[in-house]
Structure 1
Amino acid sequence: MGNLRQMSRVPVYIRVLDVNDNAPTFATNYETFVCENAKANQRIQTVSATDPDRPAGGHRFFFTLAPEAAGKANFSVRDNKDNTAWILTRRNSYSSLLKSVYRVPVVIADNGTPALSSTNTLTVRVCTCDREGNMKLCNAEALAARAGLSTGALVAILLCVVILLMIVVLFAALRRQRKKEPLIISKEDVRDNVVSYNDEGGGEEDTQAFDIGALRNPEAVEDAKQRRDIVPEAYYPPARRPARDNANGDVRDFINQKIRDNDSDPTAPPYDSLATYAYEGGGSAAESLSSLESAAAEGEQDYDYLSEWGPRFKKLADMYGADDSDRDS
């Protein structure tokens, strides 16, 4: 004690033993694809793992397919026993139209004590490939390619549609600017002209218009009648039957006779026109009352008979039936 020469220093090295507290994972983020024309048991990817733990004997990883995906798996996992594994196809051909992306769960375990494991998901895209297995198109591009519509095709279709629309708009503008030919060529701008067409209907044997007289009263139609729908070339006055000229003539018979004459006249007005008839009775004591048919002058006539017609004609009898001396006064 108290002798410093009896003291010594000895270095002590302490080794920290590794504890397996990390589960292995994929060594990198794999981007995997499978061709649509792939065959069964074809390798599409080789995977490896990493683990931050440092076991004494080194790492040893084990690769298996997750049990929940083993029953309906489209892919399989083959452990190469060298810390790598292959991802293999389990069937022939894949369709991007049915399913474009598959997710393969891979379980990676280490050899630590206790052993740790983790489930890592590998995403596999379905792509269109050539005969040698080189990828051409994937996912949305593959869908468009399967439908026959690439980007270039879509651009061409859009250009065609735009050109077609421009042609339609130009054609419509030209039609609006085109002047319409007038129906009647005239120097004056007459807008209420009546345009007539001499067209022959199908099946007719002549160019004459239809005789509308056949639609009139059948009893008044005769073969020798002139047509009412056109102006006759020559006017021949119809022969009218003489009216009854007896002293006791009947007005009803006169009117009926006029109606029959009018119905048989081809140049008579249409049936919806108003026809008036003048009738003067025959055998009147006053004879004709028309001044145009009077043969004698007013002073030479004798109106004494007016006093015999009753009180209704008294005023006329006083005015015209007086003596010449009374009228002179």
Structure 2
Amino acid sequence: MPSNYSIRPNKHVDRELFVELVGRTLSSTQVDRCAYISMGGPQMTDQIAMYRRNGISKLYSFDAEQNIVLRQRFNAPTHETICEAHSAAELPAKLDDISYKLDVDRVIVWFDYTGARQRGVQLAEFQSLLKSLSSGDIARIAMDASLPPEKFKSELPENIRNQHFPAMKALLARELGEYHPEDFELESQNDMPRYLSKCIEHLCDRAAEMDPNGEVSFCPMLQTCYTDSVPMFTVTILVQDANKTPAAPDGFSYLANDWGDIESLEVPELTAREKSYLDRLLDRNADELTRELGYDIARAAQMPRQWTSFKKFHRFLPQFQHVEIK
């Protein structure tokens, strides 16, 4: 999978939505008292965006592979950015030291996972993270939203393996263990974002119950689903106190109303010239757009969805520009 978000438009839009949401959430906060922490990847794309767009200069990135960490240090947006080699599972125990070293009161943490075989472990790591956060902190998780591989159906009892979606639900229950919502009805691949959202809702309820003072709650601010090389699901959560403060930003157009509110990102792949031209045609419907252009920008079955998604998220699409660095 290419790591350059600019050639992965849905991923790019998702990241830009998150960066804008963080900026709006911190609008009344001193950003020099906030730290951004994530699996920055070799290109440090989200770290750079947080620094340039929101002014967050206290940055921390991590990865389990030492070579990726070395690339992170080279590509870091500031000389003060800290890049360390460790796993997501190790981060919660390090948060106090990281906050002390960076001299911050508030953290924004993104666990950006890949792969569908360890989702139970990933949810356990995210729950551990939530238990380490305080009111005003922000947590985000991105997960593979694929159905389990069909080859594993052969390991199920015969009365289930020949029924596709009951078999998929049984495999998910085996994979996710205690996080699996038994009452969820899985009927298609399109149900997977809602399934994972329900898993994380239950996880947040459990983390809140474990709070020794009973003063923490978790509010979903943004949920998205999209297809990259695989289906993906993300949720961004605001940690609140017992009085539901701080509040999520009212002015953010894509703010989730509840756990069932998930934004579907399905933007078309466009040239820079097409993007610039289509920005002026937002009052058209899909049929009018096709007549105006003289050709389809997506397959016929996808066209209405992709045009709707473009109109909703067009300002977040990547802008291509030729740059030479000598």
Establish whether TM, by shorter chain, passes 0.5.
Answer: no
Q: For the pair shown, which has the larger CA radius of gyration, 1 or 2? A: 1
TM-score, normalising length: structure 1: 0.18
TM-score, normalising length: structure 2: 0.18
Question: Which protein has greater RCO, CA pairs closer than 8 Å, 6+ apart?
Answer: 2
From the two aligned structures, give the one with the greater helix fraction: 2
